[in-house]
Amino acid sequence: MITKAPVGRYCDYCKAQWGRLKDDWHPKAKVQAVIICISETHLGKQNERAYCETHRADISTMADGSVWPLVDQMETGRKLMQAKAAERAAQNV
């Protein structure tokens, strides 16, 4: 699921890139997130990742330069999970 990020939620990638200074985040790590992606897989159930506009674009751009939007990535993941579940159910019959 993809939702709008609340005010004050910082980009996880920026925080990982710039880190902390003493008791607070590095000033460059304090980039407002624009979206939050909530994982729906069995391995990362309800795991949240916040992305700023720059990093949202980075994770949507593949190595060959093509763009695969996050909405489409999430939908593909759902379809793959449903197919795997159906395959397991068929084996248990």
Residue 67 has pLDDT above 90, yes or no: yes
Residues in the chain: 93
Residue 11 has pLDDT above 90, yes or no: yes
Residue 90 has pLDDT above 70, yes or no: yes
Output the average pLDDT for the chain: 89
Domain map (residue ranges) of the chain: 2-91
Give the 3-state secondary structure of residue 27: helix
Per-residue three-class SS string for 48-83: EEEECHHHHHHHHECCCCCECCHHHHHHHHHHHHHH
Binned at pLDDT 50, 70 and 90, residue 78 comes out as confident
